[in-house]
Structure 1
């Protein structure tokens, strides 16, 4: 990757010259010679001198490659005049078609030039993995013991279990995916899914096309979904409901981030040793801990102070983290979690609406029914009829 040219980053190879009105402080006199050097994508040279060499950009986007003896080139964007130390190999290459720089050196030690093959375009950041299309993005709420007889298609398919558990059958394996598990089916891979008779699961499926790196290492296995990937899935669900002109772009971008997060986790990449990265990880851990506590105790009488005590932060800080990461308050998250739990309980069919309202700590069944309709647009009775 091309680096910024500054005093610290360039210190091992040379120093930066001060630019001032009327010109740059390049050496002058009969012992010095100045030439204009033009480099093209097809023709690039490397230079070496036993004396200091001065360089300044003239036109085009110029990349300065420098290296000490026995070392690999380091690349800098040449946007200011520099002095390259004696014995440092250097080359000028264009970012686009061509570039021109001033080179000043002593006549008696003019740098020797040798052809160099270097593709600076490869230094630019490019995608190793890119989601091309998202075909379907569904949140399934299934009845107890549901059975899907199976299919195969040319797209990749991701499955994430949000509630309960499902059986994922593919590649000769019957894997049990529980809450927080993910599985990915490959192109043209036959797969089927079903639930145990006493389980009414909720899960997400996404079908998509991918270019670049293969997901081969993730296929035919189940894995725990990293908390950051869970947050991305939740953001995708919110984006899906927006339905504006950029919804598709956002979903494709978020799915790409999710897959990269899962791949990094699978490869066991070490966390970046940056305080900012650690802070983000700590925030994710707090939010994830709070979400797990709410999910595991959703039938209790929950409050924001109670959840904050559980995760070891103040209610105000927890509220700030929820707004930052989930774009909702923890109180609203609790309300939604209870309503999602009520749908699961309705699908299980073991309780009537009054009992469900009592178990979920609603003051009255009417309060429960009103919140249910506000959230889902139908009454609990209408929802129960729709799944029979």
Structure 2
């Protein structure tokens, strides 16, 4: 498959580290830092997104479903979507808290969040101490209201990804301690995914076509498991079959190549390892609902600058 970079000829490279493509999408919604008086109260409500609530100063009482928590400065609460919750200040002075709503398309990260039994991380816990610097970076990025909007957005995104990377490690460690079998399944699913990404990331020769060469059976054999177990574990973690996951990766790579007007569709089909342009076109249309040429025309039209006065 095509890769996002051009590798040097074999024998000329001293060393090389190739990282998997990053396609995670994170939406940050309604981030705010609020200072409220001791009489403040937020009525019961629910969100479609996950919420991270962090107290910077004062004390907050948070009621989540049937449970009630007293949040001190430095305590972090993670609320799942669709759960009714309310909060109120029980501080002697003012209460200052940070609220972050987010959506993410990473199925493994979301499955870890769904499995965690811990809604609140106390300030003295290792998790809260690790997360605190990330929260402060988000606060700093949000407070710079005078900077360019794009700059502010990128800084918020950078701080949020750092926060989620730390949260990922915390949740993964929790899963390993609480349920070793769940952790083992996730590790195995990630190994399968990494091998599927490797198929897409390397350039295939004429003899290495996606329909006939290295595939799920070979990955299963390398990992010492049966193909059925490979499919079952992968589906449990990613909620999608390995074959569908691979198809999505190939479709994404196809779209990247079709956006390059200097490559013919024939060259793209060859680069992706298909035996002919017709086979590639049928597969692309089956995945996306339109032909490669139609997709390319749409992309080229969208990339053209608007005429003056339009």
TM-score (norm 2): 0.43
Higher strand share: 1
TM-score (norm 1): 0.35
Larger radius of gyration: 1
Higher helix share: 2
Work out which structure has the larger RCO, using CA pairs closer than 8 Å and 6 or more positions apart in sequence. 2
